[in-house]
């Protein structure tokens, strides 16, 4: 198993986990910060490829699967935001983070990535740890709003699951730089209809934070995720993806003084343990 792929998957999760910080500091609506994350992310990748002399990778159209994944990337973020407008954040996040487990099951039945009992147990363990981090706080208030919110969350789940699976089946001859650039660019274009007429006033401060969102969770986060998915089985990536909410919780505690209780800390430890075991097994058992 590719140790580099495991490290890259963890880096991807950590980069993705910074999105909440940039969103809060920039003060933009979710749709606007999402656009900057994807569009500026594509610009950073363009600069990176230009500096390396590798612009040839974006001169080739990657095909409809990559284009579809750009749409799914935008859809996942937009449906996630909409879900939280109608139901609780815990409800929305818990549904969306079923995606790694479902993607692993799809890969098992349709992609020949056979799951064993250990793999399933580790993914389920990570999911349980994630539920502990949310203090098991699932709840329903206004029934009609919650139904609509959960519908959006399910649509987001489908988009995130599709994003994982399609990145696993894209032709290996399509370079990861090509895949990432067009997924970022197409995703940004898909968000434009949701932000027309809704741009807030700009300042040096929020432009800098928006640029940071494009650099870290945009360029670095998505690029590392695409690279990791090209190297790792879905189950391994899915287990390591739960490092993202751990980093979100840590940043909330370190930067914004958000408290952690014993249940949340235990959940973090469970996720870290499952990820460490999965990484060890992946690199030591053929």
**pLDDT of 137 over the 80 cut:** no
Tens-place pLDDT, residues 166-180: 999 999 899 999 999
| Position 181 confidence tier, pLDDT thresholds 50, 70, 90 | very high
* Residue 219, SS3 per DSSP: helix
Buried b (16+ CB within 10 A) or exposed e, 29-68: bbbbbbbbbbbbbbbbbbeebeeeeeeebbeeebeeebee
Range of the domain at 157: 3-284
pLDDT at site 90: 67
For the chain, the domain total comes to 1
CA distance 177 to 190: 20
The DSSP code for 220 is: I
Per-residue pLDDT reduced to its tens digit, 233-278: 999 998 898 898 888 888 888 888 877 788 888 988 999 999 889 8
């Amino acid at each position: 198993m590719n140790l580099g792929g495991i490290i890259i998957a963890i880096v991807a999760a950590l980069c993705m986990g910074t999105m909440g910080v940039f969103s809060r500091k920039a003060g933009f609506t979710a749709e606007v910060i999402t656009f900057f994350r994807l569009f500026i992310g594509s610009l950073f990748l363009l600069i990176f490829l230009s500096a390396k002399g590798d612009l040839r990778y974006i001169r080739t159209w990657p095909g409809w699967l990559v284009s579809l994944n750009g749409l799914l990337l935008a859809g996942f973020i937009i449906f996630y935001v909409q879900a939280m407008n109608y139901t609780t954040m815990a409800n929305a996040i818990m549904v969306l983070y079923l995606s790694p487990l479902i993607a692993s099951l799809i890969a098992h039945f349709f992609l020949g990535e056979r799951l064993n009992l250990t793999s399933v147990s580790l993914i389920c363990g990570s999911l349980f740890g994630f539920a502990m981090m949310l203090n098991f706080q699932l709840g329903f208030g206004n029934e009609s709003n919650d139904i609509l919110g959960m519908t959006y969350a399910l649509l987001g789940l489908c988009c995130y699951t599709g994003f994982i699976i399609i990145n696993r089946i894209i032709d290996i001859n399509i370079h990861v730089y090509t895949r990432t650039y067009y997924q970022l660019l197409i995703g940004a274009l898909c968000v434009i209809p949701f932000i027309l007429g809704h741009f807030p006033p700009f300042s040096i401060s929020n432009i800098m934070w928006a640029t940071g969102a494009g650099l870290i969770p945009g360029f670095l986060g998505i690029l590392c995720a695409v690279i990791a998915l090209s190297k790792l089985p879905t189950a391994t990536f899915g287990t390591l993806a739960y490092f993202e909410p751990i980093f979100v919780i840590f940043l909330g505690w370190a930067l914004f003084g958000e408290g952690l209780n014993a249940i949340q800390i235990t959940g973090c430890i469970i996720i870290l343990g499952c990820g460490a075991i999965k990484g060890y097994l992946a690199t030591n058992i053929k």
